[in-house]
């Protein structure tokens, strides 16, 4: 049995802590830093996610994980000038691998603060250089270029966690979990998500363009590794809003939808032109932008807090301006890890530009869900697949 001692468990008082393989060697190597319990939970879940995304799309894939759920996930689709600006990478060298990770982190930059990064392919110097300037706890990848590894080893005063994963590792078909001294066993979720799962289309609109098929697969695979209940919005090869761990489906849809709306609002011309002070750090910019696009930024701006980040007080976006801007968005894909029980989920999704949906189907109110999709011309597939993850 091979084992690795960890700093502590979920909390500092939970000691001792370790990870071990009962009948084999550990399938990863720690190249730098010292892992904790949550680090490895993030690393191993995120690795499975990016490995599946790469297999499903054929493109380099990346994920940004926090507390055992993805804050973002993406594949290497080139970025336009607007995305480069809102992700703070104007003029930065971009490679397919760095593009995938920058997209993944850009989905929800506030939630990605202090993330665990996962890459499907070798970490190159461009990706490492981008990570060096961001607040991140660690990374997992199948390999690292010599230059990338040197860059990462200097991060966090030499303490940045770097894990190299064996890309050929396959887990045992039966997995075991212990809760309160008792053991639970189940088969490993090795279900493969392919375009075939989108063939059952009960809506009048049955048109799923190639880009929508890609985005729906990205959403479904991402949800496979997101704490349930979960719903995710995707567009352009990346997640733009993930609602994780909610007890009701509509709260998942609302939470993910609000994140998708904020992602859209970051691209509003007024937001792109915010007069930031030159000495403001990127995390502070992220926080300020989130306040600026929120429902009521006036209170924060009125008390003089704007002076810490802006050279002059910006005029807040009105509710009508936000509604009109978000209303321009279309072509968004939405995935759900189980069926939608009511049409209210579709109503909320429509407000964030959703044109394509993939959900399990099987609700006693499927007719209502289909009818609501037809009202807006949304194409929806019943996958017949539940993707709960706990």
66 given a catalytic annotation: yes
Nearest one of 232, 201, 173, 198 to 49, comparing CA atoms: 232
Is-contact 333 216, C-beta < 8 A?
A: yes
Q: What pLDDT score was predicted for residue 300?
A: 61
> What is the C-alpha to C-alpha distance for residues 291 and 298, in angstroms, rounded to an integer?
9
Q: What pLDDT score was predicted for residue 103?
A: 97
Q: What pLDDT score was predicted for residue 270?
A: 92
For domain 175-265+326-382, give its CATH number from 3.40.630.30, 2.40.160.20, 3.40.140.20, 3.40.50.2300.
Answer: 3.40.140.20
pLDDT over threshold 90, residue 202:
yes
Is-contact 126 27, C-beta < 8 A?
A: no
- What are the pLDDT digits (tens) for 232-273? 999 999 999 999 999 999 999 999 999 999 999 999 999 999
Give the full edge-to-edge strand order of the sheet including 238-244: 28-32, 161-165, 136-141, 115-119, 61-66, 69-75, 238-244, 230-235, 332-336, 354-359, 379-382
- Give me 19's structure tokens: 């990870």
Question: Of 208-212, 314-318, 337-341, where does mean pLDDT reach its minimum?
Answer: 314-318
pLDDT over threshold 70, residue 295:
no
pLDDT over threshold 70, residue 1:
no
188 given a catalytic annotation: no
Is-contact 72 105, C-beta < 8 A?
A: yes
Is-contact 218 205, C-beta < 8 A?
A: no
pLDDT over threshold 70, residue 390:
yes
204 given a catalytic annotation: no
Cα angle vertex 295, ends 291, 299, to 5°?
65
| Percentage of the chain exceeding pLDDT 90 | 87
Out of 32, 39, 45, 229, pick the active-site residue.
Answer: 229
Out of 66, 259, 322, 389, pick the active-site residue.
Answer: 66
Question: What average pLDDT score do residues 278-305 get?
Answer: 80
Which three-class secondary structure state does DSSP give residue 306?
helix
- What are the pLDDT digits (tens) for 120-162? 999 999 999 999 999 999 999 999 999 999 999 999 999 999 9
**How many angstroms separate the Cα of 366 from the Cα of each of 105, 252, 332, 349, 363?**
35, 18, 21, 16, 5
pLDDT over threshold 80, residue 198:
yes
Query: What's the chain's average pLDDT?
Result: 94
Q: Is the dihedral of CA 262, 283, 42, 15 positive or negative?
A: negative
> What's the topology of domain 2-169?
Cytidine Deaminase; domain 2 (3.40.140)
Question: What average pLDDT score do residues 215-229 get?
Answer: 97
Cα angle vertex 166, ends 161, 171, to 5°?
110
Q: Confidence class of residue 305 from pLDDT cuts 50, 70 and 90?
A: confident
> What is the C-alpha to C-alpha distance for residues 387 and 223, in angstroms, rounded to an integer?
7
Q: What pLDDT score was predicted for residue 115?
A: 96
Q: Is the dihedral of CA 164, 56, 68, 265 positive or negative?
A: positive
> What is the C-alpha to C-alpha distance for residues 148 and 321, in angstroms, rounded to an integer?
43
pTM (global) more than 0.75: yes
Question: What average pLDDT score do residues 308-319 get?
Answer: 88
Q: Where are the domains of the chain?
A: 2-169, 175-265+326-382, 269-316
Report whether the peptide linkage leading into residue 16 is cis, meaning its omega lies within 30 degrees of zero.
Answer: yes
Nearest one of 385, 389, 44 to 228, comparing CA atoms: 389
Instruction: Please check whether the two domains, 2-169 and 175-265+326-382, share a CATH topology.
Output: yes
Out of 67, 85, 153, 251, pick the active-site residue.
Answer: 67
> What is the C-alpha to C-alpha distance for residues 384 and 354, in angstroms, rounded to an integer?
20
Q: What pLDDT score was predicted for residue 292?
A: 86
229 given a catalytic annotation: yes
Question: What average pLDDT score do residues 69-91 get?
Answer: 95
Question: What average pLDDT score do residues 275-288 get?
Answer: 90
């Amino acid at each position: 049995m091979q084992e690795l001692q960890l700093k502590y468990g979920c909390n500092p008082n939970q000691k001792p802590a370790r990870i071990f393989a009962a009948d084999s060697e550990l399938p990863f190597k720690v190249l730098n830093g010292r892992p904790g319990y949550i680090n490895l939970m993030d690393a191993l879940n995120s690795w499975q996610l990016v490995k599946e995304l790469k297999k499903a799309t054929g493109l380099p894939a990346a994920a940004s994980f926090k507390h055992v759920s993805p804050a973002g996930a993406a594949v290497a689709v080139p970025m336009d000038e607007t995305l480069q600006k809102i992700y703070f990478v104007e003029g930065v060298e971009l490679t397919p691998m760095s593009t995938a990770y920058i997209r993944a982190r850009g989905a929800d930059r506030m939630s990605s603060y202090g993330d665990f990064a996962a890459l499907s392919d070798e970490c190159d110097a461009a990706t490492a250089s981008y990570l060096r300037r961001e607040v991140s706890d660690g990374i997992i990848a199948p390999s690292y270029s010599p230059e990338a590894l040197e860059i990462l080893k200097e991060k966090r005063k030499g303490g940045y966690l770097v894990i190299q994963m064996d890309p050929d590792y396959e887990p045992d078909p039966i997995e075991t979990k212990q809760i309160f001294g008792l053991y639970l066993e189940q088969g490993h979720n090795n279900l493969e998500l392919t375009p075939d799962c989108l063939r059952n289309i009960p809506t009048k609109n049955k048109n799923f363009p190639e880009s929508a098929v890609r985005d729906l697969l990205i959403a479904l695979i991402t949800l496979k590794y997101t704490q349930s209940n979960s719903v995710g919005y995707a567009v352009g090869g990346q997640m733009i809003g993930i609602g994780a761990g909610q007890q009701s489906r509509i709260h998942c849809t609302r939470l993910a939808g609000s994140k998708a709306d904020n992602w859209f609002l970051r691209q509003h011309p007024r937001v792109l032109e915010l007069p930031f002070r030159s000495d403001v750090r990127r995390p502070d910019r992220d926080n300020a932008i989130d306040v600026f696009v929120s429902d009521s930024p006036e209170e924060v701006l009125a008390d003089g807090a704007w002076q810490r980040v802006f050279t002059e007080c910006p005029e807040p976006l009105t509710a009508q301006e936000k509604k009109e801007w978000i209303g321009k968005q279309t072509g968004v894909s939405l995935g759900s890890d189980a069926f939608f029980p009511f049409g209210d989920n579709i109503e909320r999704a429509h407000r964030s530009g959703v044109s394509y949906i993939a959900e399990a189907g099987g609700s006693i109110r499927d007719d209502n869900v289909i009818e609501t999709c037809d009202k807006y011309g949304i194409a929806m597939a019943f996958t017949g697949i539940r993707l709960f993850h706990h």
